[in-house]
Amino acid sequence: MTLDQLINRKEAGKILDVNGRTIPRYAQKCLLTKIKQGYKHLYSKKEVEQLKHKFEIKNALNDYIREIYVLRKSKIKPSRIIKEFNIKNTLPDLNISNSSKIEQALEVYNCSRESYLNKFNIHKRDCPNILLVRETMARLKIKDPHVIYDLIENGSLEPRITLFNGKAHHFISMDSLNDFLGKYSNKFLYRSHTASEKIGKSIEEIDRIAHHYNIGFKIKDTKQGNYLFSGRDIRKLKSLNYHNNYKKNI
């Protein structure tokens, strides 16, 4: 690599739109390679530009990157994730495959989460087996973190509790989440309100049909709309709705 292909941290920061002092941290996280030239540390301009693209992809997928992370850990194939989240149309101008978009976004996300977990003395070797509460929420399609704490309290999820600055922080065992989901652990999941929109029934009716025909997976025994459905479950609900409407009309 020639000297004109190398840049200093200030120039790298300009490309990535961050303070130059952030660049060595990216090198520590293995996102960039630090190249020593005398007393200076330089960086490959090409590698910095590639990292910029990775950040762009990760930001484009930011709304569901946590769920994608858990899905990949659950051995769901990239091709299925691409179809589910319409990644085919995300940043179409980048000349890379759709599966590469997922892996590059996850590379950046992984570095961030490992750095975050290190603050709580959860080391890299343990990181893949531990989920953040927000990752668990994303997988279960819920917005209220209290649901997660209720599931911990009733023994449905296994926590790892770490004290930091005098405060308890909860993390979730990946194995316990998969055990909780059972046969749904390797499926895309949809909440009652999504089924309601797809079928044209109220959430109350969806929950009633699901309960009556034992369709779906209920997160909790309280409140409506706490069912999770697979794609196959939603097709069953649609079929039942069609047949019920047909019977009413004859």
pTM (two decimals):
0.86
List the pLDDT tens digit at each of the 250 positions of the chain: 676 789 999 999 999 999 999 999 899 888 999 998 888 899 999 999 999 999 999 998 999 999 999 999 998 998 899 888 888 776 666 666 778 889 999 999 998 898 889 889 888 788 888 999 999 999 999 988 999 999 999 999 999 999 888 899 999 999 999 999 999 999 999 999 899 998 988 988 898 889 889 999 888 765 556 789 999 999 999 888 765 653 444 3
> Could you report the per-residue pLDDT of 168-205, keeping only the tens digit for each?
999 999 999 999 999 999 999 999 989 999 898 898 88
141 class by beta-carbon count within 10 Å (0-12 exposed, 13-18 middle, 19+ buried):
middle
State how far the Cα of 117 lies from the Cα of 107, in Å rounded to an integer: 15
Structural domain containing residue 8: 1-55
- Check which CATH number belongs to the domain holding 159 and give it: 1.10.1660
In a domain, 90, yes or no: no
Domain count for the chain: 3
Pairing relationship of beta strands 190-191 and 6-7 according to DSSP bridges:
unpaired
Please report, for residues 116, 146, 170, 228, the alpha-carbon distance to residue 152 in angstroms, rounded to integers and kept in the order given: 22, 10, 10, 18
Q: How many CA atoms lie within 13 A of 92 on its CB side?
A: 3
Choose one of 184, 201, 216: the last residue of a domain. Answer: 184
**Best CA proximity match to 212, nearest among 178, 176, 236, 194:** 236
Helix axes of 174-181 and 65-73: crossing angle, nearest 10 degrees: 80
Q: Is 222 in the same domain as 204?
A: yes
